[in-house]
Amino acid sequence: MIWYLLIHRLPVRPLYFRARIRRMLGEAGAVALKKAVYALPQAAGALERLTGIADQVRAGGGEAFVCQATFTRERDEAALVAAGRTERAADYTRIARDARALRPAGRGASRSDAGRARKGLERIRARLERVRAIDPSPDDAVARAAIDDLERALQARGGPARSGGAPSLAGYTWVTRRGLHVDRLACAWVVRRFVDPDAPFRFADAHGLRAGPGELTFDTPGGDFSHDEGRCSVETLLARAGVDDPGARRIAEIVHDLDLKDERFGHPETTGVERLVTGIVEGHPDDRSRLERGLALFDDLHRSYVRPKRLSLRLGRAPEPPPRRP
């Protein structure tokens, strides 16, 4: 077999960055040869996945190299294949466990418990599909059975387990890490303007951050709405919440370039937004104050996209005159 290797060195801080890279490697199906060396067998999209992770490592201040390799001894390769299958089996076991944990506790379960389980069902389905894309083995049978059991339990309580459109995300407390920056500010703006105008927020330490009853987490490793398939958290939130707004989409593209630093979209106003966000962060150490300033910033930016004619007048550019009548 031909293998792709990712050899990397991560910065010591921030800790969440190290956790994010480990999560991305796991989702890609890469297996650890050593602490800083991961291997992925040659397959469609494998090289692109590792190269993308290497780009993220470099953007975060680390070093990364991707190369191609083969094993000289079959038993070494067999051990690596077995390690990969063991990790995927553990993934299927965790999915099954999490599906069982979401099952409403009989007639005593509250409506909020059932609503949370329905939203969790969608997340667990997505996790199963990601693992199956890496290793579609018979080990997935237990996970699929647990998910099917959860869906039947929810249907028995009334209402479909999967809605035709995006699920309602109103009525939750939204939880993220302290020290708001561009992606978390943009997520909060999307929540307040498109999901739930009265949504409360809770800011917690990154270490051990968990959602309590009636809470959703965002832009935190393993959170409900976080980096996924090359997207930043606000892009994930827009997609999962079913928000189809051109201005919000452009803001998410700007945030993507600032947060992931891959220059995918290259909008001309990105640098200006970066300076404004830096000013907010430097001038407002309190997250509540930072949140309010961030909401105002993205409100104004969004307004500039939905009212281009009025913006051009404010900038001193006259609109095109109407054609003269003969």
Residue 313, pLDDT > 60, answer: no
Q: Note the pLDDT tens digit of each residue in 82-91.
A: 888 888 888 8
Structural tokens at position 105: 């506790």
Residue 221, pLDDT > 90, answer: no
Closest CA relative to residue 20, chosen from 59, 57, 67: 57
pLDDT of residue 307: 63
**Residue with the larger pLDDT of the pair 206 and 279:** 279
pLDDT of residue 269: 95
Closest CA relative to residue 217, chosen from 232, 204, 198, 235: 204
pLDDT of residue 192: 93
Whether 31 contacts 40, CB under 8 Å: yes
> What's the mean pLDDT when you consider all of the chain?
83
pLDDT of residue 210: 79
Structural tokens at position 289: 């104050």
**For the ranges 115-119, 213-217, 312-316, which has the lowest average pLDDT?**
312-316
Q: Note the pLDDT tens digit of each residue in 68-114.
A: 999 999 998 898 888 888 888 888 888 888 888 887 655 444 555 66
In percent, the amount of the chain with pLDDT more than 70 equals 86
Domain-wise residue ranges, the chain: 3-70, 84-156, 173-311
Whether 302 contacts 250, CB under 8 Å: no
pLDDT of residue 157: 57
pLDDT of residue 33: 86
Residue 234, pLDDT > 60, answer: yes
pLDDT, average across residues 113-133: 76
Q: Note the pLDDT tens digit of each residue in 156-197.
A: 654 433 333 445 688 888 999 999 999 999 999 999 999 988
The Cα-based distances of 136 to 31, 66, 68, 128, 139 in angstroms read 16, 25, 24, 10, 8
The pLDDT confidence band at residue 64, using thresholds 50, 70 and 90, is very high
| Rounded to 5°, angle at Cα 9 from 43 and 234 | 70
Residue 326, pLDDT > 50, answer: no
Q: Which fold has domain 3-70?
A: Alpha-Beta Plaits (3.30.70)
Q: Note the pLDDT tens digit of each residue in 237-276.
A: 999 888 989 999 999 999 999 999 888 999 999 999 999 9
Residue 117, pLDDT > 70, answer: yes
The pLDDT confidence band at residue 309, using thresholds 50, 70 and 90, is very low
